[in-house]
Amino acid sequence: MAEPMGFYTDTTVCIGCKACEVACKEWNQLPATNGGVNTLSGDSYDNTRRLDGIHWRHVKFIEQFPEDRKDGRWLLMSDVCKHCVQAACLEVCPTNAIIRTEFDTVVIQSDVCNGCRACIAACPFGVIDINPVSNTAQKCTLCYDRLQSGMEPACSKACPTDSIQFGTIRELRERAGARVQQLQNAGEKRAHLYGADEKMLGGLNSFYLLVDKPEVYGLPPDPKMPTRNLVPGSLFSILGALLVGLIGIVNFRRRGAGEVKEARP
Amino acid sequence: MNAVPSSTWFSASPEWGWLVVLYLFLGSLAGGCYFLAALIDLVGRAEDRPLARLGYYAAFTCLVIGGILLMFDLTRPERFWHLLLQSHTFRPMFKYWSPMSIGSWALVTFGAFAFISFLGVLAEDGLLSWRAARHMRPPGLLARVIAVIGGLLGLYVAGYTGVLLAVTNRPIWSDTPLLGMLFVVSAASMSAAFMILLARRSARTAPGIFALHRIDAWVLALELLVLIALVISLGPVARAWLNAWGLLLFFGVIVAGVLAPLALYWRRDWLGERNMTTAAALVLAGGFILRLVIVFSAEGVGV
């Protein structure tokens, strides 16, 4: 296996230009929403709205302004699949359509997926959705085809401020750690990394530098694996089955006067 | 966007809609009816065998319809077999930690048992003149083995869907470990009710119908306990039911689907002749509304 590759997104230098969204759509030949007819969301400058089957990059615009607008800031963040080391989608996929590549990234094979949508419900980040052209679940592939040819992903290549950086996870973590230090020293005490170590789902191969709580960016503070419920859920179900079985056996076996009385009300 | 009760708030909806709700309803009935019919075959009396036959008819019919609905819920229905065979290698596709994977195999295996029993009861009712099929009915050893395995598979089919919903990251579904237990228990109450209604309509009034009625009362009491435990286990997430779905859950499931039938069981003279069938109809409707609420109430939740 090649060394694990991924994205480090420094949200503090994102300018909201959406070049990443456009580059992603161009390279991956993803169609426009609503046949290209412009629809406005009314939510800041964000008309992409969310990640789905035809949006594999989504620049979020978070406006933080008080009522009097004397002070304030924009939080901008280019969201994407996190390519989790412990990937919920891959874990639950019942057809093995979702695979881990030699770059430690997570890819959905469109020719295998049958659209059961288990992965959509499993992803803690709400990344995956059905692509209306293929009718299969789709998401960012971290440009698997480009990686195989030794190229970098389209979005990071297009990013004009290096908010999105591509590289080996080891190198990206070093770079991100230094940047957090730099911001802290400059007085931005809220700067921290999201998903840059093994504590979160074994590590996110697409991790973030944030300057507010994750939930402000629409990121779960404590994402977990879906199989956490498998054993307790199964044990309680077995308990239910045992109780139901017991009730059934006792009542079908009980015979005699009781029924005769009931039969003649 | 701040302070949500669970990290599950950030996941996206798989848009499992009406087809899935109907499948959950029919799958529960299929598994539960087979289980009750198998119990009658194994520990019940010979006079109740017509009732067991009804259960097998119901199980097979519900399973076939439910299975077809499930297939058409896929966005690529023609690839349904990818759940059973790996499409690249044609090797068996099996993932024991994925409830949808084991569930697919359970449906196929249970389907085989439901079909065998269906043939057996057809033969017993004289609708199929195939001698071998009679051996699939009691009292033979083969029939008993079929009833034991098929009955257990039926319970599995009734309950795995609850575990499947829990093994996600969706709000409500994955915020409690009790959905599977709730579905098993509710499948039993719904199926007993369904068999009572079928027996009344087809005039197969075997004494076992009273046993089914008693089973319903016990199981409903258990279901009420599981529902209460489930709401407690949700903790702050239960806030997600402070809306129309919560009202539907309370009045449609707990009041109309559990408490009312229990009251009808204890006060047998309320509706006289119609007491039992009214209770059964309420239980059946409550089971449907329960699945409806569970599936759809997670839709509107999130950031």
Local structure of A9: helix, strand or coil: strand
Mean pLDDT of B171-180: 97
Q: Residue B52: CB partners within 8 Å, gap ≥ 6?
A: B37, B38, B40, B41, B44, B121, B208
Residue-wise pLDDT for B7-55, tens only, equals 999 999 999 999 999 999 999 999 999 999 999 999 988 889 999 999 9
Answer whether A93 touches B (CB < 8 Å).
Answer: yes
Q: Is the pTM of this model over 0.80?
A: yes
**Whether A80 contacts A208, CB under 8 Å:** no
Residues of A in contact with B186 (CB under 8 A): none
Local structure of A192: helix, strand or coil: strand
Question: For A5-224, CATH number?
Answer: 3.30.70.20
Nearest by CB to B82, from A114, A126, A215: name it.
A114
H or E segment and range at residue A75 = strand A73-79
Tell me, what's the pLDDT at A34?
82
**Whether A119 contacts A93, CB under 8 Å:** yes
Parallel, antiparallel or unpaired: strands A73-79 and A164-168: unpaired
Answer whether B202 touches A (CB < 8 Å).
Answer: no
Q: Which CATH architecture has domain B14-297?
A: Up-down Bundle (1.20)
Mapping DSSP onto H, E and C, the string for A92-158 reads: HCCCCCEEECCCCCEEECCCCCCCCCHHHHHCCCCCCEEECCCCEEECCCCCHHHHHCCCCCHHHHH
Q: Is A240 within 8 Å of B177 when comparing Cβ atoms? A: no
Would you list the domain boundaries of chain A?
5-224, 227-263
Q: Is B210 within 8 Å of A128 when comparing Cβ atoms? A: no
Mean pLDDT of B261-281: 88
Torsion region of A207: left, alpha or beta (phi above 0 gives left; psi -120 to 50 gives alpha): beta
Answer whether B200 touches A (CB < 8 Å).
Answer: no
Please determine, for residue B238, whether its predicted confidence score (pLDDT) is greater than 70. yes
Residues of A (124-153) whose Cβ lies below 8 Å from B:
124-130, 135-136
Parallel, antiparallel or unpaired: strands A5-10 and A206-210: parallel
Answer whether A72 touches B (CB < 8 Å).
Answer: no
Percent residues over pLDDT 70 in chain A:
95
Residues of B (81-120) whose Cβ lies below 8 Å from A:
82-83, 86-88, 93, 95, 97-101, 104
d(CA B250, CA B235): 17
Specify the residue for token string 């896929």.
Answer: B74
Q: Is A126 within 8 Å of B36 when comparing Cβ atoms? A: no
- Structure token pair of residue A56: 């594999």
Closest A-chain CA to B73: A116
- Structure token pair of residue B139: 């009292």
The C-alpha torsion from A119 through A120 and A123 to A129, rounded to 10°, is 120
Buried b (16+ CB within 10 A) or exposed e, A85-121: bbbbbbbbbbbbbbeebebbbbbbbbebbbbbbbbbb
Mean pLDDT of B120-126: 93
Tell me, what's the pLDDT at A264?
40
Alpha-carbon distances of B280 from A66, B76, B143, rounded to whole Å: 58, 37, 29
Identity of the residue numbered A40? L
Mean pLDDT of B139-150: 93
Nearest by CB to B10, from A92, A115, A126: name it.
A126
Identity of the residue numbered A136? T
DSSP code string of A209-228: EESS-GGGGT--SS---GGG
Query: Across all residues in chain B, what is the average pLDDT?
Result: 94
Specify the residue for token string 């109907």.
Answer: B22
Residues of B in contact with A265 (CB under 8 A): 268-269, 272
**Whether B55 contacts B33, CB under 8 Å:** yes
Answer whether A246 touches B (CB < 8 Å).
Answer: no
Q: How far is B154 from chain A (nearest CA, A)?
A: 10
Please determine, for residue B112, whether its predicted confidence score (pLDDT) is greater than 90. yes
Mean pLDDT of A128-150: 97
List the one residue out of A119, A86, A116, A231 whose CA is nearest residue B163.
Answer: A231
Please determine, for residue A94, whether its predicted confidence score (pLDDT) is greater than 50. yes
Answer whether B162 touches A (CB < 8 Å).
Answer: yes
Q: Is A240 within 8 Å of B184 when comparing Cβ atoms? A: yes
Local structure of B151: helix, strand or coil: helix
Closest A-chain CA to B101: A94
Q: How far is A256 from chain B (nearest CA, A)?
A: 10
Tell me, what's the pLDDT at A209?
98
Local structure of B156: helix, strand or coil: helix
Main-chain dihedrals φ then ψ at residue B51, nearest 5 degrees: -70, -40
Residues of B (220-239) whose Cβ lies below 8 Å from A:
222, 226
Specify the residue for token string 């869907």.
Answer: B161
**Whether B154 contacts B59, CB under 8 Å:** yes
- Structure token pair of residue B142: 């083969």
Answer whether B14 touches A (CB < 8 Å).
Answer: yes
d(CA B276, CA A131): 49
Tell me, what's the pLDDT at A260?
45
Label residue A257 by pLDDT band (50, 70, 90): very low
Residues of B in contact with A128 (CB under 8 A): 12
Answer whether A166 touches B (CB < 8 Å).
Answer: no
Q: How far is B209 from chain A (nearest CA, A)?
A: 10
Q: Can you say whether the dihedral through the CA atoms of B17, B152, B63, B207 is positive or negative?
A: negative
Name the DSSP letter for residue A186. T
Maximum pairwise Cα distance, chain A? 88
d(CA B114, CA B146): 9
Identity of the residue numbered A12? T
Mean pLDDT of B162-169: 98
Specify the residue for token string 């950031």.
Answer: B303
Buried b (16+ CB within 10 A) or exposed e, A207-245: bbbbbbebbbbbbbeebbbbbebbebbbebbbbbbebbb
Tell me, what's the pLDDT at A160?
98
Q: How many contacts (CB atoms, under 8 Å) link A and B?
A: 231
Alpha-helical (H) ranges within B167-274 are 179-201, 208-234, 244-247, 260-266
Closest B-chain CA to A92: B98
Alpha-carbon distances of B170 from A229, B42, B274, rounded to whole Å: 12, 40, 41
Task: Quote the ipTM score.
Answer: 0.96
- Structure token pair of residue B231: 């709401």
Alpha-helical (H) ranges within A149-256 are 154-158, 169-185, 230-253
**Whether B124 contacts B70, CB under 8 Å:** no
Would you list the domain boundaries of chain B?
14-297
Residue-wise pLDDT for A177-216, tens only, equals 999 999 999 999 999 999 999 999 999 999 999 999 999 9
Query: Across all residues in chain A, what is the average pLDDT?
Result: 94
Tell me, what's the pLDDT at A1?
63
Name the DSSP letter for residue A60. E
Please determine, for residue A44, whether its predicted confidence score (pLDDT) is greater than 90. yes
Closest A-chain CA to B295: A121
d(CA B181, CA B163): 8
Residues of B in contact with A46 (CB under 8 A): none
